[in-house]
Amino acid sequence: PCSRPLLAAALGSAGRRPLLRRPRPPPGPAAAAGLSSGAGEAAEGADAAPAMLRHLLLKLRATGPITVAEYMREALTNPGQGYYTRRGDIGQSGDFITSPEISQVFGELVGVWCVSEWVAAGKPSALRLVELGPGRGTLAGDIVRVFSQLASLLSKCDVSVHLVEVSPKLSESQALTLTGGQVQSSPKDTAAYMRGLTRAGIPVFWYRDVQDVPTGYSCFVAHEFFDALPIHKFQRTEKGWREVLVDADPDAPGQLRFVLSPASTPAALNFIQPEETRDHVEVCPEAGAIIQSLACRIERDGGAALVADYGHDGTKTDTFRGFRKHRLHDVLKAPGTADLTADVDFSYLRKMAQGRAATLGPIKQRLFLKNMGIDLRLQVLLQNAPDAATREQLRLSYDVLMNPTKMGDRFHFFALLPHHRLERPPRSQQGAPSPPLPPVAGFTELVLK
Ligand code: SAH
């Protein structure tokens, strides 16, 4: 009764919100930030920029050049002026758009994935949905709706939602999406800084750090989260590896530029492997630490983690770029007014799981969604669409998610699961061969019976 097509078919039949188009443009030549800041656009409408830039220039004067990781952390999540703290404008009218904002089907299928892993784990008595970097709360909202639609399956399960978010502005949006804004703040609380109830009565909690989320069987979801975490950048030179740093430009007052560290840095010594063949490498230690902690939790408590992002398997070099109003934006211009991002290195995430959890993927979004039954879901929505305009929107949003030239091939899914989920024990206790393990949804081809 819990096969993927049946789970997907059990979902409601209505399109819910207007469907949007316009994902981030693919990185063009301007995205290659390289070692010069280039001639980017002026700091138009840059309310946060002067304050952030002033702050950075003072800091640079006091400490000398800073790592790209520190620059990125300041520009994105500085508590006063960071991009996500103050702006974080996701959506059609904002700076970039993400898959959950394009179509409700995306979140529904991720919800089905969580339920199908929970079923495969033997229906534990509690299910925590933990989302890292939930943006406007759209994905969590779509997943929770799936939980409600599959209420008969989950009726005896204690379901709760745990959101890891550092941005006060975005946590407000999430609260509005999930609870209609009915939340209680507890800023002094060391664990959850806010809590509320969804309209269906599911408790929701907010944290600043995944370490604060209570342990127990959990399904972790991270969509376009890891690409927002700070990266270190390294350049191979004749004298060995040097770290790329951000400094004030002495020739252009009020502007920033990239420089190379004069000697090796602790990060270069720690993060560059002796067998590295690339000349330019980006490493995100914070992503590594988070994956390590998810892998430990999954090893101890069971559960699953689904990471979806654009990225590569340890092959790409310079992917650091900025986005503002759906256009590429010079990463060093008007910090605090643009989203900064770098492709996720899935090979590094796999390594940082340290064998504590099994890993699956990365697999292209197009294949993952197909394996999850997106075509069936689309058919149901098309059949029930009230008019031709809705049908057209459904088809267009499907195309954005699935088309290899749009998001289909650029985004990848990667999962962490307990080893016992993938490796069949040779014999049961009675000595009989153990039953076959159910396939992991999304990562294996969908077979319709
Ligand atoms: N998942 C959403 C939003 C992606 S944008 C979507 O796909 O639409 C990145 C999200 O991560 C934002 O919510 C941002 O505020 C959050 N974020 C960025 N850095 C973070 C950090 N260090 N800890 C927790 N959340 C962070």
Residues 224-249: tens digit of each pLDDT = 999 999 999 999 999 999 999 999 99
Mean pLDDT, the chain, integer: 89
What token pair was written down for 52? 């952030």
How far apart are alpha carbons 9 and 373 in whole angstroms? Answer: 9
- Per-residue pLDDT tens for 184-202? 998 776 689 999 999 999 9
| Coil vs helix vs strand at 413 | strand
Q: Which residue has the tokens 């799981």?
A: 353
Name the burial class of residue 42, with classes exposed (0-12), middle (13-18) and buried (19+) by CB atoms within 10 angstroms of its CB. exposed
Distance 300 CA to ligand 1 centre (A): 26
Q: What is the pLDDT of residues 375-425, one digit of tens each?
A: 999 999 999 999 999 999 999 999 999 999 999 999 999 999 999 999 877
Q: Which atom of ligand 1 is nearest to the CA of 84?
A: 15
Backbone angles phi, psi at 386, to 5 degrees: -75, -25
In this predicted model, which residue has the larger pLDDT, 48 or 125?
Answer: 125
Residues 6+ apart with CB under 8 A from 274: none
Task: Read off the pLDDT of residues 291-350 as tens digits, 9 standing for 90 and up.
Answer: 999 999 999 999 999 999 999 999 999 999 999 999 999 999 999 999 999 999 999 999
d(CA 95, CA 195): 28
Show the tokens assigned to 114: 């969580």
Q: Please give the pLDDT value at position 449.
A: 59
Q: What is the pTM assigned to this prediction?
A: 0.91
Cβ atoms of 163 and 177 closer than 8 Å: no
Band (pLDDT 50/70/90 cuts) for residue 434 is confident
Ligand 1 atom, smallest distance to 131 CA: 1
Q: How far is the CA of 224 from the centre of ligand 1 (A)?
A: 7
Distance separating alpha carbons of residues 337 and 345, to the nearest angstrom:
25
d(CA 442, CA 374): 10
- To test the pocket of ligand 1, the residue of 85, 110, 143, 225 to mutate (highest count of ligand atoms within 8 Å of its CB) is 225
State the Cα–Cα distance between residues 414 and 418, nearest whole angstrom. 14
The predicted-structure confidence for 166-180, as pLDDT tens digits, reads as follows 999 999 999 999 999
Question: What pLDDT sits at residue 446?
Answer: 72
Pocket probe mutation, ligand 1, options 165, 205, 212, max atoms within 8 Å of Cβ: 165
Q: Is 244 helix (H, G, I), strand (E, B) or coil?
A: strand
Instruction: Indicate if the pLDDT at residue 35 is higher than 70.
Output: no
pLDDT tens for 245-293 read: 999 999 999 999 999 999 999 989 899 998 999 999 999 999 999 999 9
* Ligand 1 centre distance from Cα of residue 163 (Å): 10
Pocket probe for ligand 1: among 166, 212, 213, the residue whose CB has the most ligand atoms within 8 Å is: 166
Domains of the chain: 62-231+284-421 (3.40.50.12710)
Between the CA of 132 and the centroid of ligand 1 the distance, in Å, is 7
Tell me the two tokens of residue 257: 């530029």
Least confident range of 48-52, 94-98, 118-122: 48-52
Residue nearest to atom 26 of ligand 1 (CA): 133
Ligand 1 binding site (Cβ under 6 Å of any ligand atom)? 76-77, 84, 88, 90, 98, 100-101, 133-135, 139, 164-167, 170, 223-225, 228-229
Contact between 293 and 209 under an 8 Å Cβ cutoff? The reply is: no
Q: Is the pLDDT of residue 362 over 50?
A: yes
Ligand 1: centre distance to CA 206 (Å): 13
| β-sheet bridge partners, residue 131 | 163, 221
Q: How far is the centre of ligand 1, averaged over its atoms, from the C-alpha of 227 (Å)?
A: 9
**Ligand 1 centroid from CA 405, angstroms:** 25
